[in-house]
Amino acid sequence: MREGGRQHPRRQLLRTIEGVKGSVELEIGIVPRLEYGAVKPWISSYPDGVFTALGGHTGLVVSGTIPLIIGPDHDLTGVLRVDQRESYVLSIEFARPETVDEGPGDVADRKELQRRIEETVAWWERWSDKIDRQASDSEIRSAIVLKALSNAPTGAFVAAPTTSLPEAVGGERNWDYRYSWVRDSVFSVEALADLGCEAEAEGFRRFIERSAAGSAAELQLMYGVGGETRLDEVHLDDLEGYRQSRPVRVGNSAYRQTQLDVYGYLVDLAWSWQLRGRTPSNHYWEFLVDLVDTVCARWEEPDKGIWEIRGEPEHFVHSKVMCWAAVDRGIRLAEAAAKTDPVERWRTVREDIRAAIERRGYDTERGIFVRSFESEALDAALLLLPVFGFVRWDDPRMMRTASAIHTELGAGHLVRRYLTGDGLEGSEGAFLACSFWLARCYARQGRVEEAKEVFELTASTSNDLGLFSEEAELETGASLGNFPQALSHLAHLTAMRAIRDAGNRRP
C-alpha cells in the first residue's frame, strides 16, 4: 500500500533546522504529553537515534538526525550546534501503540525524510497554482489556511485546530472548535471555489450527505472530521486553561442545538454548484427537497442562531433570512431542472417568510433590520443579508443597517457580534469575521474608502505569518479565541475580492 495522499495520509510532523550564516547552539526538548496532558508516556530508545513514546491509545515514533537522549521526566533532550550550511531533520510520527510496543519497525532515513518534505512543498505549490492569478499574496495565504483546515480523506473543514483558547481571558467563553460546522464549511468551500479551487466543494458536499445519512431529519449543524455525530462536551477540570481561562472543554454541546440557518447554507451551496454547471444528481435532489420541506415546516420556530447562544431561543432575523434562502434556492434549482411538483407550495412559503421578516424583523422608526423579531438590538450577522439576495447591497435599508452596525457595534473600525445577553458571563472582543463582513458590505455598496479603512485595520490584527484569530481584544488588538480561525480567513478573502471588484467598477 502506497503511503501519502488523500487515501493513506502520513500522520507525521517533519521539522528541519538549517544553518544559514555563522553558528548557533540550540537546546532541543521534546515533551510528549498524551490524553490532554494527563499521561506521561513510556519512552524507549532504539538504534540510529529512534525512540518510541507510548501511552493509552497513542503511539509516537521519533526519529531524524538530531542527537537526543531520554530525559528524567519522560522527555527527550539534546544540545545541537548548527553551523553554516549544516541541516538537521526531526520526525514525529503517529502509530497505533500495539504496532510499535516491541519496536518502531521500518523507519524512514534522512534521505526519505528530506524527500517527503520536498514532496509536501511541491504539492502545496501545485495546489496554490490553481488559485486565481489576480489573487494577492495575502489572499493566497488565507486560501492555504482554509485548505490546511480541511480533512482530505473525508472532505470536512474544521473551524479551527484548537480548543478552549478564550474569547475573554480568564472567562468561561472557551470552546472546542476542532469540528466541521456546516455553515462555516459552506463559506470556506465557496470562497475557495471563487478562487478556482472547486474540488473542495464537491468533497464537502459528499461529506455532508454521507454524515447526515441523506436525511434532513438527521442533519446536525456540526460534525467531527470523520463524520462523527456525538460531540458531547466534557470539562477537563484538572487543567488550568490558557492564562487561567476555565473551563477547558473537549467536545461542543452546541451540536445538539437547533440552528435553522444551516438548511439555507446547504441549499445555497447546491445552487452555487448548479451555476458552475454541476446539476444535482437525482439522489442529491431528493436530499435537497427534504431540506427545503423541513424549512417549510419549521421556519416559524425560534432557534439558537448563528452565534450559538446558550440562553433561550429567539426568532433571529439572520436565521429567518436563511430559511428564506433555502426555499428560494430550492425553487431556482427546481426550475432549472424543470421539476414542477413542489414549486408552487414553496413559492407561498417564501413569500410568507419574507413578509414576516419585513414586518417583525425591521425597525420602521430607524429604518434598519434588527437582531430578532420585535427587538431593537443589532447583530453583525445582518451584514450577510445581501449575500443571499434577500435585499440588494445598496438597498437603503441595508445601507442604514450597515452604518448602524458600525456605529453601535463598532470599536473603532473593528466590529463586535452583538451587545445583548447570551446566557454567559462576561464579554468578548471584536469578531474579525464581522469586521471583514462590514468591509465587504461597504465595498459592495460603493463606499470604497470606508471599506478600505475597516479592512486595513482588521487585516492589521494578523500575526507575522498572516494568520487570523477568531477575535481581537478591543483595547490592544491582541488575538483572542481559537486560532487560526477559518471564518476569519474566509471573510478576509471575500472582503478583499469585494474591494478589488469595487475598484475595477466604472462609475
DSSP output for 344-401: HHHHHHHHHHHHHHHHHSEETTTTEE-SBTT-----GGGGGGGGGTSS-TT-HHHHHH
| Least confident window among 72-86, 265-279, 391-405 | 265-279
CB atoms within 10 A of CB 466: 17
**135 and 235 together in one domain:** yes
Q: Could you report the per-residue pLDDT of 159-172, keeping only the tens digit for each?
A: 999 999 999 999 89
**299 and 426 together in one domain:** yes
Task: Answer positive or negative: Cα dihedral of 348, 352, 354, 355.
Answer: positive
Residue ending a domain, choose from 102, 125, 148:
125
User: How many domains, the chain?
Assistant: 2
Residue 6 lies in a domain: no
pLDDT of 281 higher than 90: no
How far is 486 from 204, CA to CA, in rounded Å? 15
pLDDT of 395 higher than 90: yes
Residue ending a domain, choose from 125, 159, 190:
125
pLDDT score, position 437: 98
Q: CATH no. for residue 406?
A: 1.50.10.10
**161 and 30 together in one domain:** no
Q: Which of 328, 333, 323 is nearest to 278 (CA)?
A: 333
Domain that holds residue 120: 12-125
**93 and 183 together in one domain:** no
Which set of grid coordinates corresponds to residue 414? 473593528
Residue ending a domain, choose from 125, 149, 173:
125
pLDDT score, position 507: 42
pLDDT of 32 higher than 70: yes
Q: How far is CA 382 from CA 201, 299, 377, 441, 474, in A?
A: 25, 18, 11, 10, 21
Q: Could you report the per-residue pLDDT of 419-476, keeping only the tens digit for each?
A: 998 888 888 899 999 999 999 999 999 999 999 999 999 999 999 999 999 999 988 8
pLDDT score, position 241: 93
pLDDT of 1 higher than 50: no
Arithmetic mean of pLDDT, 103-127: 93
pLDDT score, position 505: 67
Q: How far is CA 403 from CA 46, 294, 368, 398, in A?
A: 65, 35, 9, 9
**147 and 199 together in one domain:** yes
Q: Which of 285, 304, 284, 288 is nearest to 296 (CA)?
A: 288
**118 and 200 together in one domain:** no
**351 and 474 together in one domain:** yes
Residue 3 lies in a domain: no
CA-only gyration radius of the chain, Å:
25
**136 and 82 together in one domain:** no
Q: Which of 116, 112, 104 is nearest to 50 (CA)?
A: 104
**94 and 146 together in one domain:** no
How far is 396 from 384, CA to CA, in rounded Å? 15
Residue 74 lies in a domain: yes
